[in-house]
């Protein structure tokens, strides 16, 4: 199966390991992975800040980039959700709305793709350690992907799972919220860090690089020993 990777700008620039793990994992599951060079950013940071006009050019670029893809897969629930928002953003536009709809229909978040399209629930991974999982808001509430990461993690050999208390609560990232309302963001991420510590887990795992960057960055600043991993890195462990 041919998969076109929508790596996201955060992964491209800051979380290369997540991109690598995603490629290796998909290949092991029998996919042929391609990465179109012209992909940049889905436009979410500026769009969510209210700059709709400014963001539309970036969105059109992404729509064109993935036009011929069969499946678009992203290791970020939030960025994959953004593709699903495109049809609403271009609603009423005779040229771009149909194109946006076509892109949304073939875009999947990584774990969702593995479970729902590849129909794989056990990727054959092995990972020794006590793990807790942060359910990102956009991925669970807006994209509606709740079960797939849980199913895949449950089948990782050696992995001990501890549920995160208050898991449905936002970590305080929220794109530009994290800098615009940093005062509030700090309180939110601190509560999240506190909950992570309560689990006693050695690893905090998530499926969204941005939330992990927020929680991980705060834990590092506070000198917490918990390591942060993207779910692709766990599923790619042997």
Which residues of the chain form contacts with another protein (CB under 8 A)?
Answer: 7, 9, 11-16, 19-20, 23, 35, 37-41, 43, 45-46, 48-55, 57-58, 60-61, 137-138, 141-142, 168-170, 172-175, 177-189, 191, 213-214, 217-218, 220-221
Q: How far is the CB of 45 from another protein (least distance, A)?
A: 6
Name the residue nearer to another protein (CB basis): 87 or 172: 172
Name the residue nearer to another protein (CB basis): 154 or 194: 194
Cα Rg of the chain (Å, integer): 17
Q: Could you tell me which residues are beta bridge partners of residue 131?
A: 161, 203
Name the residue nearer to another protein (CB basis): 152 or 208: 208
Q: How far is the CB of 167 from another protein (least distance, A)?
A: 12
Task: Kindly write down the DSSP assignment for every residue of 23-74, as one continuous string.
Answer: HHHHHHTTPEEE--TT----SHHHHHTT-HHHHHHHHHHHHHHTTT-SEEEE
Q: How far is the CB of 91 from another protein (least distance, A)?
A: 12
Task: Kindly write down the DSSP assignment for every residue of 111-163, as one continuous string.
Answer: HHIIIIIS--S----EEEEEEEEE--HIIIIIS---HHHHHHHHTSEEEEE-P
Q: How far is the CB of 83 from another protein (least distance, A)?
A: 14
CB 165 within 8 A of CB 199: yes
Name the residue nearer to another protein (CB basis): 76 or 159: 76
Q: How far is the CB of 118 from another protein (least distance, A)?
A: 21
Name the residue nearer to another protein (CB basis): 92 or 183: 183
Max CA pair span of the chain? 53
Provide long-range contacts, Cβ within 8 A and 24+ apart, for 97-100: 99/63, 99/67, 100/59, 100/63
Name the residue nearer to another protein (CB basis): 7 or 145: 7
Q: How far is the CB of 119 from another protein (least distance, A)?
A: 26
For residue 45, how far is the Cα from the chain centroid? 15
């Amino acid at each position: 199966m041919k998969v076109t990777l929508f790596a996201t700008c955060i992964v491209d620039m800051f979380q290369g390991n997540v991109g690598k793990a995603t490629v290796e994992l998909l290949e092991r599951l029998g996919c042929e992975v391609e990465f179109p060079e012209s992909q940049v950013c889905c436009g979410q940071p500026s769009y969510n800040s209210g700059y709709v006009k400014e963001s539309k050019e970036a969105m059109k670029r992404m729509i064109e980039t993935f036009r011929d893809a069969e499946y678009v897969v992203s290791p970020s629930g939030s960025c994959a959700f953004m593709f699903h928002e495109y049809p609403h953003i271009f609603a009423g536009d005779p040229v771009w709305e149909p194109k946006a709809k076509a892109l949304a229909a073939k875009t999947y978040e990584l774990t969702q793709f593995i479970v729902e399209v590849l129909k794989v629930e056990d990727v054959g991974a092995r990972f020794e350690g006590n793990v807790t999982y942060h359910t990102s808001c956009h991925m669970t509430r807006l994209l509606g992907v709740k079960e797939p990461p849980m199913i895949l993690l449950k089948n990782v050999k050696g992995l001990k799972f501890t549920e995160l208390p208050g898991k449905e609560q936002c970590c305080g990232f929220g794109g530009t919220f994290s800098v615009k309302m940093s005062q509030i963001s700090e309180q939110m991420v601190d509560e999240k860090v506190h909950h992570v510590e309560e689990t006693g887990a050695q690893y905090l795992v998530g499926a969204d690089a941005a939330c992990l960057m927020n929680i991980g960055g705060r834990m590092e600043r506070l000198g917490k020993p918990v390591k942060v991993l993207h779910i692709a890195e766990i599923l790619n462990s042997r």
